Amino acid sequence: MGYRLLAMSIDGVLLKSNDRMSRETKEAVDFVRNKGVYTLLVTNRSFGAAKKAARHLKMEHEMICHGGALTAGQSGTTILEARMSAEMVYDATACMEMYPCRIQLESQDYEWENKEPAAKNVLGKIQFSLGEGLFQPKTYTDRVSASAAEKQLSALRLFGHFESTRDAEHCRGLLEEKIPGISVDQQENSITIKKEEASKEHALTWLMSELGIEPEEMIYIGSGTADISVLDMAEIGVAMGQSPDEVKQHADWITRSNDQNGLAYMVKEVFRKQMKVEV
């Protein structure tokens, strides 16, 4: 069988634990691409962060970003989007504001956050964070819900970081009860809110249909629990060596860790005898 699609996560797969990409990884992706295989980034990272990784790999294909909420080309042109409406954003942030909570609204071109910057006299002005916010402007506000209502802000994702796991659980239950059409993922005292359709699996299924690629022609390599549904749908689901046991249980193949160039090792084993294919 000829595999026509290699879909990859960024964190824990393409990047080593020091957040750098090895020469072996770059050469492996280039090797696969030269065989005519469609290489695709599927990531929880923002579009800007994914585009930076794509440039390192000299990739020109579309990217699935924001945990599946956005599929876009290199130019940033949206191909598929699952965006929370301004009404959804207002209702969700108003609910989170009932608790002591740091809230972040994430879109393709901007971020809003209710955490005050160090200098109070710049409250509400455009700032840039030291993380992914470097790729898009961040605005600080007293109440995200008020800004969402006034500016009619839509969102690809909302994040909430609570003072306790109990508060996060209570808020999650309230959100799921009051706002139809969203999904809420909780990790201890943090939650992530998206539209129900905003998943890696949904975006990848749609893109494969557009490309005429069947699930049995796809290999997916991931390292985190957010990759489980896509590992299940791939013909070969590959888990990195450092992945949690929960992820490895859903994998067809466990490769070496990211610090041991696990992606490059997997590519060498799977693709070395494959003839060039056409997508």
CATH 3.30.1240.10: does it fit domain 86-195?
yes
86-195 shares the fold of 5-81+199-271: no
How would CATH label the architecture of 5-81+199-271? 3-Layer(aba) Sandwich (3.40)
Q: State pLDDT tens for residues 135-150.
A: 567 899 999 999 999 9
- Residue 199's nearest CA partner among 63, 72, 41, 44 is 44
Of residues 76 and 119, the one with the higher pLDDT is 76
SS3 labels along 6-47: EEECHHHHHCCCCCCCCHHHHHHHHHHHHCCCEEEEECCCCH
> What is the value of pTM for the model shown?
0.84
Mean pLDDT of 202-231: 95
Q: Which residues on neighbouring strands pair with residue 63, listed in sequence order?
A: 41, 72
Q: Calculate helix-pair angle for 47-57, 23-34, nearest 10 degrees.
A: 80
pLDDT number for residue 109: 85
Q: State pLDDT tens for residues 234-248.
A: 999 999 999 999 999
Q: State pLDDT tens for residues 185-200.
A: 999 999 999 999 999 9
Q: State pLDDT tens for residues 102-130.
A: 999 999 888 999 975 444 443 333 333 33
pLDDT number for residue 23: 95
Mean pLDDT of 251-258: 96
DSSP 8-state symbol, 155:
B
Residues with Cβ < 8 Å from 201, sequence gap 6 or more?
Answer: 68, 229, 230, 233
Any idea where the domains of the chain sit in the sequence? 5-81+199-271, 86-195
Torsion of Cα atoms, 206 then 211 then 214 then 219, to 10°: -90
